[in-house]
Structure 1
Amino acid sequence: MPQFSTLDLSHVPCLELLSEGFSNLPKLFEINISGCGVEQLLDLSHNNLTTFNITFGNCPSLEGLYLNNNNLTQSALFADLTSLRHLHLQSNGKLELTEHTFEALKHLETLDLSYNGLEILSPHLFGYKQVDTQGLYEYLPMAHMRWLNLNGNKLQQLDSRTFEKLAFLEELCLSNNVLRVLPKGLFVPIQNLKVLDMRHNQLTEISSDILKSLNNAKDLLINYNQLTTLPDLNGTLPQLQRMGIDGNPWERASFAPLEQWLIARKIQYLTDDYEFYSSD
């Protein structure tokens, strides 16, 4: 069935899928799986799907959804996927996100938005919308989110409120964008952040306020930016174990204390290809 372009499986009782889902239908353009009770994982990757011809309907048991490598331009609404934990939307060309895209995904744990040509993120993009009995609503933290991948987009700047509803995030990937500056307070809400990847951007400075907010960071990757200096690192990054610094035009006078600090703290250098080598 590799030539199928349209597939209607709506209201099929107890639909069971193999691990590859529909990824072996490369010409699939339209699909309706509403009311079919899909369990756990649905793979719709590597097809020709766009937002307007995906019908999910009510799939309350679905935990993993793969929509990567399609032609999505506007994100689908995931309002009925109340159990979704893992969402892969990477490599969809030029994906547009609204501030309501993920508001129903209370249990989301991992989200991959890499390589979508994203230029801007709404400051209210990440947050769970809760409505009370009177119809009033508020946006609450996405308490289960642990991993967010924004690599390979076209982000030039971030709002200081971008991650304020991701207080429990542990890994944040921002590499291969065009970020030039990080706003004050950007990472303050993410007190559990352990891995921060900012490689291959255009950062010219990282303020002491930014560094002081990374109290639980274990891996900090700032390789291949435009950094010439860093502020005094004493008293910062108490949990740091690995750091990537290569590929920056460091000033010689500022690099010496940085190197001494790394050696004194026994922090491992992490190269751009993730190979470890000790500062000893």
Structure 2
Amino acid sequence: MMYEQQQFQQPMLKMDMRKKSIEEEKLEMLDLSGMSLESLPSPSINLATICKLDLSNNNLQNIPESLTARLLNLMVLDVHSNQLRSLPNSIGCLSKLKILNVSGNLMEYLPKTIENCRALEELNANFNKLSQLPDTIGFELITLKKLSVNSNKLIFLPRTTSHLTALRVLDARLNCLRSLPDDLENLINLETLNVSQNFQYLDSLPYSIGLLLSLVELDLSYNKIKSLPDSIGCLKKLQKLSVEGNPLTSPPPLVVEQGLHAVKEYLCQKMNAGHQSPTKKKSWVGKLVKYGTFNGYVRSGARERDQECEAFIMPEYRTMDGLASPRYKGMFSPSRLFSPRTYFSN
């Protein structure tokens, strides 16, 4: 009898678990899009069970702080095409949030607490009125793979942008960018970079843009750029380069018309010529020899195509007494001696 009762209870337990899983599946996504909502109704469900919330294409002007704070398991939040002027500070409570779409609103800033969404992989803030992004955004959103902030009023990108090492796509077109961060080389996974249509504002690029070794697409069109950094010639994975609408002189228009391969070859040759030219600034070793720091000599001998090949030998080392004086201190600073701009400058 005991055995029969046990057999009866076990299927009942399985049915209860199945019902529970079906109920949870129904609560996984809450779709309130396109309902012309001006405010959110009081929820009649447990918000902690929702992992996707779609509030897009409404007339919402704000999202209650209390609502966001209870969405503890939310992974996708879509509020695009509303009338939102800001996000609630409690957005930082969404520790599991992976995708956030706030495009097509009236936002002038993103709350600093968004940095607490450390699981975030995709942030879409296109078509807003953003004039800046949180300064330390790059320190916290270390899993971010796609950052879309096109069609805003951004004057610059935070310097910490270069810490977004997981980033694959950066779309900052149609803004008011004056410049890009200097140390872009840290974006080791970046595949697509679009900074086009900043029109009269963006007139130069950092040398580090040519150190984005994973870059496949680069769109620089419709800016005021006159010269591309020689380092772009080193981008081996680059397959698409858009530079139309710029007053380019280097490379010249005739080279640009021949396509990407011709542009990269031109920039490579220019960089190599700058490196080998005797009229260019000498390397840091040469500077130390010039000022008598090393007691070395230069041996010349082998010639290839009428160009002298030199080998530098340092038989002994002399002290650097006197080089700590103010006169020489700046001359031998690491930022000056090892700067790629100095080494490959025109």
Do the structures match in fold with TM over 0.5?
yes
**Code of the aligned partner of 1:57:** A
In 1, Cα distance between equivalents of 2:25 and 2:251? 64
**Code of the aligned partner of 1:104:** N
**Structure 1 residue matching 2:52: 3-state secondary structure:** strand
Correspondence 1:116 to 2:131:
no
TM-score of the aligned structures, taking structure 2 as reference length:
0.61
**Code of the aligned partner of 2:234:** T
**Code of the aligned partner of 2:217:** D
Q: Which has the higher contact order (CA 8 A, sep 6+)?
A: 1
2:248 matched residue in structure 1: 250
Instruction: Work out which of the residue numbers 74, 87, 95 in structure 1 matches 2:100.
Output: 87
Of Structure 1 and Structure 2, the greater helix share is in 2
Answer yes or no: is the 8 Å Cα contact 1:184–1:210 preserved in 2: yes
**Structure 2 residue matching 1:103: 3-state secondary structure:** helix
Correspondence 1:197 to 2:194:
yes
Correspondence 1:42 to 2:53:
yes
CA gap 1:257/1:211 in 2 versus in 1, 3 angstroms: farther
CA gap 1:226/1:171 in 2 versus in 1, 3 angstroms: same
**Code of the aligned partner of 2:246:** N
Answer yes or no: is the 8 Å Cα contact 2:256–2:262 preserved in 1: no
2:274 matched residue in structure 1: none
Quote how far apart the aligned CAs of 1:75 are.
1.6
Structure 1 window deviating more from structure 2 (38-47 vs 244-253): it is 244-253
Residues matched between the structures, number: 238
Structure 1 window deviating more from structure 2 (221-230 vs 20-29): it is 20-29
Answer yes or no: is the 8 Å Cα contact 2:255–2:263 preserved in 1: no
What stretches of structure 2 of length at least 5 have no aligned partner? 1-22, 266-346
In 1, Cα distance between equivalents of 2:102 and 2:237? 32
Quote how far apart the aligned CAs of 1:158 are.
2.6
1:146 matched residue in structure 2: 145
In 2, Cα distance between equivalents of 1:71 and 1:111? 18
Please tell me whether Structure 1 or Structure 2 has the larger radius of gyration of its CA atoms.
2
Answer yes or no: is the 8 Å Cα contact 1:14–1:37 preserved in 2: no
**Structure 1 residue matching 2:31: 3-state secondary structure:** coil
Identity of aligned residues (%): 26
TM-score of the aligned structures, taking structure 1 as reference length:
0.74
* Alignment map for 1:150-189 (pairs within 5 Å): 150-161=149-160, 163-185=161-183, 187-189=184-186
Correspondence 1:27 to 2:37:
yes
In 2, Cα distance between equivalents of 1:91 and 1:121? 17
CA gap 1:228/1:41 in 2 versus in 1, 3 angstroms: same
| Residues 67-98 of structure 1, C-alpha deviations (whole Å, 9 max, x = no match) | 11112212222233222111101111133223
In 2, Cα distance between equivalents of 1:266 and 1:235? 4
CA gap 1:146/1:73 in 2 versus in 1, 3 angstroms: same
| Residues 191-236 of structure 1, C-alpha deviations (whole Å, 9 max, x = no match) | 11000011111321223x2323312100001111112221324652
2:239 matched residue in structure 1: 241
What stretches of structure 1 of length at least 5 have no aligned partner? 1-12, 129-141, 268-280
CA gap 1:19/1:261 in 2 versus in 1, 3 angstroms: same
**Structure 1 residue matching 2:208: 3-state secondary structure:** helix
| Residues 1-56 of structure 1, C-alpha deviations (whole Å, 9 max, x = no match) | xxxxxxxxxxxx85936978111321331345484234332100122223353612
Alignment root-mean-square deviation, CA? 2.8
In 2, Cα distance between equivalents of 1:252 and 1:126? 32
CA gap 1:52/1:45 in 2 versus in 1, 3 angstroms: closer
Structure 1 window deviating more from structure 2 (78-87 vs 106-115): it is 78-87
**Structure 1 residue matching 2:254: 3-state secondary structure:** helix
